[in-house]
Each structure stands twice: as C-alpha cells, then as structure tokens.
C-alpha cells in the first residue's frame, strides 16, 4: 500500500505539556494538532496507548485493547459535568514538574479523581450518557469484560501476576469467575467506565485531527505482556505450562542496541493453535487498532517471518534461537475480513532477505532511519539519498538517541571519506541539515521525533533499550511549540514537496 508524500512528527501523548504532570487527550493534544496543521504536517505518530505494566513502558501493557487511564483529561471531564472544579484542585507539584513525567505522582493525583467522576456519573448522569456507556460496553464486550475482570482481580490480590491468584482463577473456572464477578461487581463497573471515558476522548481527538487532514499513526507491539488480560483470557494461544507460567519468551539477539540482546520476557505465540482458529485473535487485534488509528506501525514485524525463542529461565537473550514464524498467513486472514491494512512494517535490526521479501509480498512500506546509515562507508541502506519511495523515513525512533545526542557521541569513520559529510554542506544547524535530508529523500513519508525538531541532546531521549527504569518520561515544554517554529517547519516541509 502506497501513502501520499507527506511529513509528520513523532510525539507520544505522555510527552505533551499539561498542568497535570502528564500529557493527555484533552486540550494539550488538540493544541498539538493545531501546531501540526500550522506546520504543514499530515501525520502524528504516537506510541502504544495501553495501560502500562511495571516500568511504565507503553510496549508492555496489561491489555492490547484497553487505554491508559492516566491519559484521560480531567479538564475534559469538568467540561462534561462529570467533575466540578472543586473536585480537581490544581496540583502545584505536578504543574511545576513540566519536563518529566512522575508516573507515581500522576497516578496518585488522577486516579482518585476518576473515581470521583464515576461516583458523579452514578448519581447524576443523563439518560443519553448512560445509554452511550451501555452501547460502548456491548460493542466492546469481547475484550472489555475480561480486561475489567483482570484489572479488578489484579487490584484485589495486589498482584498482576495472575499465576499467583487462586488456582481456579488461573484455570478460569466458570464457577470461580462468576463468583468473583459478583464480589467485584463495583470495581468491574468502574473499570468499564474508565475505558469508556478513554474511548470517548480518543475518538474526539482523532476526529479533530482528521478534520484538519492529519492522520493518527499508532504503534502495535507484536508481542503482549504475560501479566495481561490477553494472556490470562487466551492461555491456549501462548507457550505456557500447566500453571500458566511462560515456557518460552521473546526477545532479540545481540544487536546495535545491546551486546547481550534484549530479553523482553513476553510469552511466545502458539502459532499452530492460532492457525486452527484462522488467526481470529489477530484479526480482532488488527481491527481494534485500525478503528483507533489511520496508520499502524507493527513493531518487530520480522517476528512474522522468524522470531528469537528464548527459554523462560535464561538470564540473557544470548541463549535463544531463531524459529520460523507464520509468515503472511495472519495478515492475509485479517485482510480477508478487514480489507486493505494501512500498515508500516518495523523492519529494523537483524533483518534478512526473507523478512524484506515477506514485507514486499504484503505491500507494506518498511522503515529507514538516518542514524543507522553512517556506521561504515559501504553500507548506504539507511542514508537518505538511498531511501526507496515505498518507505517511511526517520531521523530516529523512540529507541534511538536524539539526533544531536547521536551526532555528538558519534565516532567518525576511521578510514576513507565519512559519508555523513555529504549531508552537512550548508550553514544551517546540524540537526536542521540532517532533518532536511530526510524530508528531501524519496521516501513517501518522513517522520521526525519532536526532540529532533527542537535540536535537543540526549537529555531528551525517550527510551534506552534494555534499561528497565527511567524511560518514557520526557516532555516537551509548552513554550517550545511556537507559531514561529510551526512557520519554519511549514517552509521546510513545502521545500521538500510534502505539503
């Protein structure tokens, strides 16, 4: 599938400015849409939106389908009458913590107020709003019911590791589930309500963006967390033992990012079982994602061709081995039911010809990243002048250092002519010259992280792969998103013929 020539910015919702300590789906996000429109951008790329597990990584969530409650806008709930201004006193501590997200402090502030909104809804909600909630619950029951059970049980037992719960719950006894549904009825209803709020605010944001010709570009991790409603509710689809513990887990071998590889710990799929069900779970997952997004990046796409299988008791990813994936079959099954899939294949890292061939057979564009293009004089695969039209070009991704952080720490090629010099012939700042090279490239779509737009160093890095804590906290300052910056970006985008 080909996309029109365009440009966009990568900035996760959590990184938006707001007085509540974290970006949200309300006014901060709508204001950023206005900035994008003024800047001539047609794509807003974000990271996964699910409720994150330990470490706050959006790539490890309690559900592949639910939304993160911390992204719900409290001012938006005031506008709807679900909260009053007295319910939401300003937090001086959060308002001044503008450059980083303190997830613990944000949760302590926002979650009790979502509970208040639920109490207000129960007492005062209009008939139409109640009907809207009922419709949402009915239409999404196929994932919502088990997620709300999972969340309520997780809070009740104080542990997201469902293998430690009562054995009859681990085995999903119908009698046990019915019993716990009765005991936790209020908690389950509250969980449904929170997901309803998230869904309403997300739909409004997407509509606002689409009306301004901006596409929302989401991200789907190929694997899901073991401590999730997805695995608990679908144990037959994953490599688990009799008590629900993973036997084999996902990761990648040693690569650019880590000398010992990355041990992600996600349970691997039982692709043989999925095939007997015509990959119905995957079709549902693609369908849900594409109702949220206009474009979808499939993270670790290479896992469909082959994946790194690691024993669950291994200490590093080095002990793994490559195993054949399902190939194009899950994609074709989803395409048969959903139609064309506007997917971008994340094909970075150790990629074989077979992975590229699979992507090309499916018609998906791959990714090219400028930072990967200058390690040797010979390998030009990731250099802007070599990008094919059917690709999505980046200065860097959420896993990379910022462009200037990379440039300052980069060691020039020891022998021969450094190929980076060919892209640095002008008088503009380094980051502007390199960004313009990506914008000017033949790639159909060019995406630039907000940190690179601003020319920030590695203090603004979003994620360091393999580092369990301290990631995902960076936020952009409101004063950085100026009309002058939007005007400059519009000019650069126009110069690259991406308007």
Sequence spans of domains, the chain: 6-102+203-495
Contact 63, 229 (CB under 8 A): yes
pTM for this entry = 0.97
At 107 the pLDDT is 96
Strands 248-252, 306-311: parallel, antiparallel or unpaired by DSSP? antiparallel
Q: Residue 459 CB: number of other CB atoms within 10 A?
A: 10
| pLDDT tens digits along 217-255 | 999 999 999 999 999 999 999 999 999 999 999 999 987
pLDDT of res. 412: 81
Q: Which of 120-134, 326-340, 409-423 has the lowest mean pLDDT?
A: 409-423
Rounded to an integer, the average pLDDT of 462-486 is 93
Q: How many whole angstroms separate alpha carbon 4 and alpha carbon 106?
A: 39
Q: Over range 145-171, report the average pLDDT.
A: 97
Strand partners for 297? 219, 344
Cα separation, 60 vs 46, in Å, equals: 15
| pLDDT greater than 80 at residue 92 | no
Predicted confidence (pLDDT) at residue 4 exceeds the cutoff of 70:
yes
- Mean pLDDT over 429-451 rounds to 98
DSSP annotation of 395: S
Determine whether domain 6-102+203-495 maps to CATH 3.20.20.80.
yes
Active-site residue, selected from the candidate residues 146, 151, 399, 452: 399
Question: Average of pLDDT values for 306-332?
Answer: 97
Report how many helices (DSSP H) and strands (DSSP E) the chain contains, helices first: 18, 12
Question: Does 94 or 157 have the greater pLDDT score?
Answer: 157
Predicted local confidence at residue 465, as pLDDT = 85
Q: What's the DSSP call for residue 299? A: E
Average pLDDT, the chain: 96
pLDDT number for residue 84: 97
Active site residue 247: no
Cα 24 from Cα 3, distance rounded (Å)? 28
Residues 88-115 as b/e (b if ≥16 CB within 10 A, e otherwise) read beebeebeebeeebebeebeebbeebbe
Q: So what's the pLDDT on residue 257?
A: 66
* Whether the predicted pLDDT of 32 surpasses 70: yes
Q: How confident is the model at residue 479 (pLDDT cuts 50, 70, 90)?
A: very high
Active site residue 309: no
pLDDT digits (tens, 9 = 90+) for 261-282: 889 999 999 999 999 999 999 9
* 299 assigned to active site: yes
Which residue is catalytic, options 24, 219, 227, 346?
A: 346
């Amino acid at each position: 599938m080909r996309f029109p020539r365009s440009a966009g910015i990568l900035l996760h919702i959590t990184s938006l400015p707001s007085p509540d300590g974290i970006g949200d789906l309300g006014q901060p996000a709508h204001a950023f849409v206005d900035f994008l429109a003024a800047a001539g951008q047609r794509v807003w790329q974000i990271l996964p939106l699910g409720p994150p597990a330990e470490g706050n990584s959006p790539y490890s969530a309690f559900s592949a389908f639910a939304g993160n409650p911390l992204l719900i806008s409290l001012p938006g709930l005031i506008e709807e009458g679900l909260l009053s201004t007295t319910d939401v006193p300003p937090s001086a501590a959060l308002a001044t913590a503008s450059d980083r997200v303190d997830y613990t402090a944000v949760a302590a502030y926002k979650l009790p107020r979502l509970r208040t909104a639920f109490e207000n809804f129960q007492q005062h909600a209009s008939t139409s709003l109640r009907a809207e909630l009922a419709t949402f619950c009915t239409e999404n029951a196929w994932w919502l019911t088990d997620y709300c059970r999972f969340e309520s049980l997780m809070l009740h037992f104080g542990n997201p590791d469902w293998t430690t719960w009562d054995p009859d719950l681990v085995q999903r006894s119908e009698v046990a589930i019915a019993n716990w549904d009765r005991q936790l009825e209020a908690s389950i209803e509250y969980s449904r309500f929170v997901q309803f709020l998230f869904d309403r605010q997300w739909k409004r944001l997407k509509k606002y963006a689409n009306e301004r010709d901006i596409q929302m570009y989401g991200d789907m991790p190929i694997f899901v967390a073991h401590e999730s409603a997805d695995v608990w509710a679908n144990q037959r689809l994953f490599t688990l033992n009799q008590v629900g513990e993973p036997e084999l887990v996902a990761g990648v071998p040693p690569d650019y990012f880590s000398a010992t590889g990355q041990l992600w710990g996600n349970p691997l799929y039982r692709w043989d079982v999925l095939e007997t069900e015509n990959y119905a779970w995957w079709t549902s997952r693609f369908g849900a994602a594409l109702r949220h997004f206009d474009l979808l990046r499939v993270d670790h796409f290479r896992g469909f061709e082959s994946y790194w299988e690691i024993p669950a008791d291994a200490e590093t990813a080095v002990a793994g081995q490559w195993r054949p994936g399902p190939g194009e079959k899950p994609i074709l099954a989803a395409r048969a039911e959903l139609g064309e899939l506007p997917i971008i294949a994340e094909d970075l890292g150790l990629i074989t010809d077979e992975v590229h061939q699979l992507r090309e057979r499916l018609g998906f564009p791959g990714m090219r990243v400028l930072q990967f293009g200058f390690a040797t004089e010979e390998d030009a695969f990731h250099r802007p002048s070599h990008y094919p039209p059917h690709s999505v070009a980046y200065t860097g991704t959420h896993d990379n250092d910022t462009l200037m952080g990379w440039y300052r720490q980069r060691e020039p090629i020891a022998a021969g002519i450094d190929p980076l010099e060919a892209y640095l012939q002008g008088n503009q700042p380094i980051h502007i010259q390199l960004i313009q090279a990506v914008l000017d490239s033949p790639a159909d779509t060019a995406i630039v992280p907000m940190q690179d737009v601003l020319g920030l160093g590695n203090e603004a890095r979003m994620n360091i792969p393999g580092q369990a804590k301290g990631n995902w906290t960076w936020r952009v300052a409101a004063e950085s998103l100026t009309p002058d910056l939007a005007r400059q970006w519009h000019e650069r985008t126009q110069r690259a013929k991406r308007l």
